[in-house]
Structure 1
Amino acid sequence: MMILKTSHLKKYYGREESLVKALDDVNVSVKEGQFAAIIGTSGSGKSTLLNMLGGLDTPTSGSVQVENQNIGEMTEEQLTVFRRKRIGFIFQNYNLVPYLTAYENMVLPIRLDGKQEDNKFLEEVVHFLELDGKLSNYPSHLSGGQQQRVAIARALIAKPAIILADEPTGNLDSRTSDKVIDLLKMTSAKFHQTIVMITHNPEIAEKADVRIRIEDGKICV
């Protein structure tokens, strides 16, 4: 089953005389349960594509289907609920709430959805990411790498159908990067999650099931 699909997706910025084609007729598809890497250099369009897949930005033309639903046809309220229930995000700049502890940041999406966290799984993820003893710390008392790991834990703990990851290992050392990719692959298999990760690192991309290369807003085949 195709869980993510774009059709003739375009995203243009500016006016005709200075038009920037961030995405130019992009057609990609990702099957349920796949771990896909979108790889490209800075400015290639990979972040724009990820934002489109998550409904964080709107296309100039074309469509994005998530679980056979055209998210462009959803109201803002419907899209917000859909994202919260079905999509987990790992942002490069963490997006942690500064006045919440690491633990509170991790379980925030679950509690916003009125659910109870799976404490056993939470402990497993926390231990794997070496965040034991850091749960009561606020983001300002965590290193950059620790904040990134909290952001990763937050996305995993909610067990969403889809995880969209923006350079999830960008602020981590090579050892921790390998562990994070292993964890993403493990949870993908265990919970039948689909993961789409953007990266500029070919070595990281090689660990994915599927690699999608983008340059100058176009998919390279």
Structure 2
Amino acid sequence: MTILNASHLKKYYGKDESLVRALDDVNVSVENGQFVAIIGTSGSGKSTLLNMLGGLDVPTSGGVQIENNRIEKMSEEQLTVFRRKRIGFIFQNYNLIPYLTVYENIVLPVRLDGKREDKKFLLEIVHFLELDGKLSNYPSHLSGGQQQRAAIARALVSKPAIILADEPTGNLDSLTSDKVIALLKMTSEKFNQTIVMITHNPEIAQKADVRIRIEDGKIHV
């Protein structure tokens, strides 16, 4: 079943001679439960595409459908609520809040939605990601790999339909990178998460179920 579909996405900046086609008629379809890697060099359009898929940026034309929701037709308020409930984000620089504990960082998306976390599910995630005993720590007391696992836990805790990962191994050594990708694959299978990850690393991309290459704002098969 298709869970995410991007149709004829275009994102242009400037005009006339200065026109930049960041995305030029991009079509992407992702099935439920897939682990998809979008690979491309710096400036290829992969980050722009991920931002469009997550509703963090507005296309010049075209649209994105997640489940039965056309996100480009939502108001900013509707989109904010939808993202909190249905999309989990994993950022390259973790984006953990330094003055919150690991536990507080992980549950933040749920509490921002005015709800209480499912503690049984949370502890299952924490154990699965080997963060037991780290919940009362602050991010500065964690290694890079531990901070990335905390970011993954935060993305999972609200049980979103889709996880969007922006270069999740970009700041990690090769051994830790392999572990993070293995964890993403396992969480995708265990918690039935659909994962779309961007990367510039072909070796990392090979670990995904599906690989999509983007160059100069166009998809290359």
- Asked whether the two chains share a fold, i.e. TM above 0.5, the reply is yes
TM-score when scaled to structure 2?
A: 0.92
CA contact (8 A) 1:86 1:162 kept: yes
CA contact (8 A) 1:40 1:213 kept: yes
| CA distances 1:76-112 after superposition (whole Å, capped 9, x unpaired) | 1110111000000001121222221111000111222
Inter-partner Cα distance in structure 2 for 1:128 and 1:69: 31
2:147 matches 1:147: yes
SS where residue 154 of structure 1 aligns? helix
Amino acid in the other structure paired with 1:89 = F
SS where residue 107 of structure 2 aligns? helix
CA contact (8 A) 2:145 2:180 kept: no
2:107 maps to 107
1:205 maps to 205
Shift of 1:124: 3.7
Amino acid in the other structure paired with 1:171 = N
CA contact (8 A) 1:152 1:168 kept: no
Inter-partner Cα distance in structure 2 for 1:173 and 1:61: 38
2:181 maps to 181
Inter-partner Cα distance in structure 2 for 1:33 and 1:204: 18
CA contact (8 A) 1:129 1:180 kept: no
Shift of 1:65: 1.1
| CA distances 1:179-202 after superposition (whole Å, capped 9, x unpaired) | 222222222222322110011111
Number of equivalenced pairs = 221
2:138 matches 1:138: yes
Question: More deviation in 63-72 or 174-183?
Answer: 174-183
Shift of 1:164: 0.3
CA contact (8 A) 2:87 2:162 kept: yes
Amino acid in the other structure paired with 1:99 = Y
Amino acid in the other structure paired with 1:10 = K
The sequence identity of aligned pairs, in percent, is: 85
1:169 maps to 169
CA contact (8 A) 1:122 1:157 kept: yes
1:193 maps to 193
| CA distances 1:121-169 after superposition (whole Å, capped 9, x unpaired) | 4334334434333222222333433322211111122221100000112
2:217 maps to 217
Runs of at least 5 residues in structure 2 that lack an aligned partner in the other structure: none
Runs of 4+ in structure 1 deviating by more than 4 angstroms, as ranges, are none
2:159 matches 1:159: yes
1:40 maps to 40
CA contact (8 A) 1:148 1:171 kept: no
1:25 maps to 25
How big is the alpha-carbon RMSD for the aligned residues of Structure 1 and Structure 2?
Answer: 1.7
Inter-partner Cα distance in structure 2 for 1:160 and 1:183: 17
Distance 1:109 1:129, change over 3 A: same
TM-score when scaled to structure 1?
A: 0.92
Question: More deviation in 143-152 or 99-108?
Answer: 143-152
Question: More deviation in 44-53 or 198-207?
Answer: 198-207
2:87 maps to 87
CA contact (8 A) 2:13 2:21 kept: yes
CA contact (8 A) 1:9 1:62 kept: yes
CA contact (8 A) 1:88 1:155 kept: yes
Inter-partner Cα distance in structure 1 for 2:113 and 2:16: 43
2:97 maps to 97
